[in-house]
């Protein structure tokens, strides 16, 4: 997978293939000074500016017809502070490179999402998260941020700075690219540890009946429900004293490559061509997975290869609303005539203190719905979104949704704090695009 999804003739296209744009200018700065100069020049030329990472957002959050900043030369670790247990990394560094470099140093992030293709700045700016009882979001692990603001100056902020720097830090950890262009991130890290993963098929009714217990008993719990069936596959990750027991090469290839990518891709192609086969294929697919356990270093357990391209919507609902939300989603699919060929992913996160985090000030559960790329998804996503918003859902900033600033002003207790800060840092809206205009207002 390329570091940035792009097309020909200066056209940029995201990974999901549902966003295409042609910027007036592309800039690949090799230093923070070069990036700051590009921002100042764009302002002089009357062009908007957006940074774009690996293109893994399904919204147009990174799209611009102005200046597109490509951060692929701003990569690598700047500093490891073993006393403070932090690592400072350049904004364009892919999560894969960061995780591998940390492991070589005997270090790890506390939690991760389920893929490693994104850049660290793109992942954190959109609120990428894993699943966890005590930890989930990548942004919640940030201890300091460096960003270039609209006047071309370089600003460093943390929760230990001035009052203004603390306010910026509280917002910019998930800043949507609206407050400036992130150039470096300092993450909290810890000594490398082992996780034991236990994957087990389980009936949906049992998972929902025992959800609170499964959440409470495991450091990281998630499950996938297969629409048109009553089946799920559950995954429990917990810290382990070892010894390491990685997935065997053959077993790993069979589960992760053949079943989850190769065969799954074939099933998706068939379902797109002949929708009538989808329920039968879902029943077969959901029974193909068997229970397995393995123990390895964190990034090898948290993340999986995702080679089948799709379009996704994900909402965070209050954790106590998860069971009702899932039951309503299943009832909607069962009565709708829709043919859903992709599992529904469910994860959790504890409340955090980041202004526009989907878990801001409330314990949350995430429900993600997907459709194979090229398959009509609007009817399914519209019906799902109606259920999510009825439960005060907050959409993932990088995934398909139709919400606007009026909705978010009610959904986020600190929304006004974020927009007031944006007014101070970017009064002329240098970092504006159509997406930010919709979700944040003018």
- Classify residue 140 by its DSSP letter: G
pLDDT-wise least confident of 144-153, 273-282, 327-336:
273-282
Round to whole Å and give the CA distance between 130 and 340: 24
Judge whether 176 and 126 are in contact, CB under 8 Å. Answer: yes
Percent over 70 (pLDDT), the chain: 91
pTM of the model: 0.92
pLDDT digits (tens, 9 = 90+) for 259-292: 555 666 776 676 677 777 777 776 767 666 778 8
The distance of Cα 96 from the centroid of its chain, to the nearest Å, equals: 14
CB-facing half-sphere around the CA of 153: CA atoms within 13 A = 6
What local confidence, expressed as pLDDT, does residue 352 receive? 96
- For the chain, list the domains and their CATH numbers: 77-191 (3.30.465.10), 194-395 (3.40.462.10)
pLDDT digits (tens, 9 = 90+) for 62-113: 999 999 999 999 999 999 999 999 999 999 999 999 999 999 999 999 999 9
| Of 78, 109, 106, nearest in space to 92 by CA | 78
User: Could you tell me the two tokens for 100?
Assistant: 């591998």
pLDDT-wise least confident of 233-237, 266-270, 391-395, 401-405:
266-270
Could you give the 3-state DSSP secondary structure of residue 383? helix
pLDDT digits (tens, 9 = 90+) for 10-56: 888 988 888 999 999 999 999 999 999 999 999 999 999 999 999 99
């Amino acid at each position: 997978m390329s570091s940035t999804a792009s097309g020909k003739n200066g056209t940029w296209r995201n990974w999901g293939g549902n966003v295409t744009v042609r910027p007036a200018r592309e800039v690949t700065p090799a230093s923070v000074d070069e990036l700051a100069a590009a921002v100042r020049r764009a302002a002089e030329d009357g062009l908007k500016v957006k940074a774009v990472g690996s293109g893994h957002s399904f919204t147009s959050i990174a799209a611009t017809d102005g200046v597109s900043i490509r951060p692929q030369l701003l990569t690598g670790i700047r500093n490891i502070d073993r006393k403070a247990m932090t690592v400072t990394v350049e904004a364009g560094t892919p999560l894969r490179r960061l995780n591998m470099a940390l492991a070589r140093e005997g270090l790890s992030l506390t939690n991760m999402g389920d893929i490693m293709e994104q850049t660290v700045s793109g992942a954190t700016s959109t609120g990428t998260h894993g699943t966890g009882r005590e930890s989930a979001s990548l942004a919640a692990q940030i201890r300091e941020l460096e960003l270039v603001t609209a006047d071309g100056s370089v600003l460093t902020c943390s929760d230990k700075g001035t009052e203004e720097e603390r306010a910026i830090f509280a917002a910019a950890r998930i800043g949507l690219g609206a407050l400036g262009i992130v150039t470096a991130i300092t993450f909290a890290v810890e000594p490398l540890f082992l996780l034991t993963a236990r994957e087990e098929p389980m009936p949906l009714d049992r998972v929902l009946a025992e959800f609170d217990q499964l959440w409470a008993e495991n450091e990281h719990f998630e499950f996938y429900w297969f629409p048109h069936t009553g089946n799920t596959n559950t995954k429990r990750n917990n810290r382990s004293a070892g010894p390491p027991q990685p997935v065997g090469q053959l077993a790993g290839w069979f589960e992760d490559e053949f079943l989850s990518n190769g065969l799954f891709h074939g099933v998706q192609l068939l379902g797109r061509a002949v929708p009538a086969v989808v329920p039968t294929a879902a029943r077969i697919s959901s029974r193909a997975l068997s229970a397995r356990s393995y123990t390895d270093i964190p990034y090898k357990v948290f993340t999986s290869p995702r080679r089948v391209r799709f379009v996704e919507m994900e909402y965070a609902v209050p954790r106590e609303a998860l069971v009702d939300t899932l039951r309503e989603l299943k009832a909607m699919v069962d009565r709708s005539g829709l043919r859903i060929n992709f599992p529904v992913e469910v994860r959790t996160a504890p409340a955090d203190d980041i202004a526009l985090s989907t878990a801001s000030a409330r314990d949350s559960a995430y429900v993600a719905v997907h459709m194979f790329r090229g398959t009509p998804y609007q009817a399914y996503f519209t019906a799902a979104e109606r259920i999510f918003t009825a439960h005060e859902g907050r959409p993932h900033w990088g995934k398909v949704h139709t919400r606007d600033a009026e909705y978010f002003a009610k959904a986020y207790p600190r929304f006004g704090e974020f927009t007031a800060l944006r007014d101070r840092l970017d009064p002329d809206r240098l970092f504006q695009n159509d997406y930010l205009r919709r979700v944040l207002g003018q």
